[in-house]
């Protein structure tokens, strides 16, 4: 859902996370050693630094630009401390236990831990008691749409109600969970403090980031945590605000920032790079004219090269990554080399990322959406002659694709 605009250790250890084997790199290593023994130096392909492919954002808010304004958005690595508070209302008193509601959301911490390759942990402290909001649930404006000011007032009321039991100075952000009986609190927006305003103050600190869950949490479940929390890191919405014929026409079911219940909710590799979950050494950049061959390891795994990028302008690039039906993407409708265009000048909700469909005339399988079958397979290629970009899929195995990227 859109933002309303104006580590404790996990049970998962590094050893328990699946990492693909290095067998795909061994033939190349053996060939290099053989050439060196024969006194022949292997040819070096033209390579560009990853920073040459890092596009700047220009929207002044959340976008796909590589740099993130941390005076506005919080950092997306390490441990983020979260206070989870539970609210009911004079017109909608709770009849369930807070634990019932928490169970819908707390697995989102593990989901994010895995999706971030262990780079982010949400340390969620649950204050399992209902605190009464001062106004009826119907008075907060959710049914009529929600302004930033109205949303801030809701967060302020919740924080004040919980303040006797919670020291908010100990936390980076707040999750506000309403009783299931508050039907008027219908959807889940993210609150981001606007610097220079009064904001929400408690315990000598300013509450800068909050997610106020709504009744849609009972539909989306833990992945809603992944979507909304990522807004506090500066990620934009990838579905269309202007729903038109299809609100998910830009990326289909890829990436949780689009369709939360999509078949391939793992974050795009481009976004993982922006968030610091993928480092520069895992990015293959072809900013200058030329061609190079890249072995991509699927983005669902933590190791290996995650993305190959061909910039086409100051704010645009084509990206290719590998997708496999594992981890967050176990239900993926198709696997292969996924190609998409990034435009960092495009605002949240208007298509800053657009997936390229390798099979536009194909009918998606039952239960799948248009673009869910978008990946390219071995022997297939993408070309944008006007931009001078070509991407070819040369081979594949269980862990990724070998691709050739060309900029002319």
Those residues whose C-beta lies under 8 Å from the C-beta of residue 142, and which sit 6 or more positions away, are 184, 185, 186, 187, 214
Q: Cα 129 to the chain's mean position, in Å?
A: 31
Those residues whose C-beta lies under 8 Å from the C-beta of residue 71, and which sit 6 or more positions away, are 195
- The pLDDT tens digits for 282-329 are 999 999 999 999 999 999 999 999 999 999 999 999 999 999 999 999
User: How does residue 1 score in pLDDT terms, banded at 50, 70 and 90?
Assistant: low
Query: What domains are there in the chain, each with its CATH number?
Result: 50-68+249-407 (no CATH), 78-231 (3.40.390)
Nearest C-alpha neighbor of 190 from the set 235, 160, 157, 220: 235
pLDDT averaged over the chain? 91
Q: Between 36 and 255, whose confidence is greater?
A: 255
Q: Distance between CA 163 and CA 127 in Å, rounded?
A: 11
- The pLDDT tens digits for 368-407 are 999 999 999 999 999 999 999 999 999 999 999 999 999 9
Say whether pLDDT at 121 is over 70: yes
Question: What angle is formed at CA 374 by the lines to CA 56 and CA 290, rounded to 5 degrees?
Answer: 50
The predicted structure's pLDDT at residue 46: 53
The predicted structure's pLDDT at residue 408: 96
Residue spans of beta strands (DSSP E) within 91-189: 120-132, 173-178
Q: b/e map of 289-301 (b: 16 or more CB within 10 Å)? A: eeebebbbbbbbb
- The pLDDT tens digits for 130-174 are 999 999 999 999 977 799 999 999 999 999 999 999 999 999 999
Q: Distance between CA 279 and CA 272 in Å, rounded?
A: 9
The predicted structure's pLDDT at residue 8: 36
User: How does residue 47 score in pLDDT terms, banded at 50, 70 and 90?
Assistant: confident
Say whether pLDDT at 13 is over 90: no
Q: Distance between CA 270 and CA 66 in Å, rounded?
A: 9
- The pLDDT tens digits for 344-357 are 999 999 999 999 99
Say whether pLDDT at 361 is over 70: yes
- The pLDDT tens digits for 171-198 are 999 999 999 999 999 999 999 999 999 9
Say whether pLDDT at 34 is over 60: no
DSSP class of 328: G
Q: Distance between CA 259 and CA 1 in Å, rounded?
A: 10
Say whether pLDDT at 24 is over 60: no
Residue pointed to by tokens 């990724």:
400
Those residues whose C-beta lies under 8 Å from the C-beta of residue 148, and which sit 6 or more positions away, are 4, 5, 6, 194
């Amino acid at each position: 859902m859109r933002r309303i605009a104006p580590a404790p250790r996990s049970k998962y250890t590094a050893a328990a996370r699946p990492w693909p084997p290095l067998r795909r790199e061994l033939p190349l290593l053996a060939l290099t050693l053989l050439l060196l023994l024969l006194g022949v130096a292997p040819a070096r392909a033209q390579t560009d630094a990853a920073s040459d492919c890092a596009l700047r954002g220009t929207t002044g808010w959340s976008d796909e630009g590589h740099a993130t304004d941390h005076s506005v958005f919080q950092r997306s690595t390490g441990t983020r401390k979260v206070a989870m508070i539970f609210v009911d209302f004079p017109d909608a008193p709770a009849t369930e236990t807070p634990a019932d509601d928490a169970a819908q959301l707390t697995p989102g911490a593990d989901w994010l831990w895995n999706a971030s390759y262990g780079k982010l942990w949400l340390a969620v402290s649950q204050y399992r008691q209902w605190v009464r909001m001062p106004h009826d649930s119907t008075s907060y404006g959710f049914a009529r749409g929600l302004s930033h000011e109205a949303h801030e007032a809701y967060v302020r009321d919740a924080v004040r109600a919980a303040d006797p039991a919670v020291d908010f100075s100990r936390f980076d952000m707040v999750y506000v969970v309403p009783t299931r009986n508050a039907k008027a609190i219908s959807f889940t927006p993210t609150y981001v403090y606007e610097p220079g305003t009064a904001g929400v103050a408690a315990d000598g600190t300013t509450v800068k980031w909050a997610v106020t869950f709504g009744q849609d949490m009972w539909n989306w479940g833990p992945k809603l945590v992944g979507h909304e929390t990522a807004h506090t890191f500066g990620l934009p919405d990838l579905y269309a605000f202007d729903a038109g014929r299809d609100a998910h026409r830009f990326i289909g079911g890829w990436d949780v920032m689009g369709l939360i219940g999509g078949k391939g909710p793992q974050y795009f590799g481009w976004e993982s790079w922006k968030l610091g979950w993928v480092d520069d050494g895992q990015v293959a950049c072809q900013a200058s004219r030329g061609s190079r061959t890249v072995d991509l390891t699927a983005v669902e795994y933590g190791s290996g090269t995650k993305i190959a990028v061909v910039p086409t302008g100051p704010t645009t690039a084509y990206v290719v990554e590998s997708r496999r039906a594992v981890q967050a993407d176990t239900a993926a409708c198709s696997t292969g080399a996924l190609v998409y265009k990034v435009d960092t000048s495009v605002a949240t909700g208007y298509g800053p990322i657009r997936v390229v469909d390798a099979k536009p005339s194909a009918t998606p399988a039952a239960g799948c959406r248009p673009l869910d079958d978008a990946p390219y397979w071995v022997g297939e290629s993408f070309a944008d002659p006007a931009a001078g970009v070509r991407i070819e899929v040369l081979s594949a195995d269980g862990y990724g694709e070998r691709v050739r990227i060309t900029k002319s």
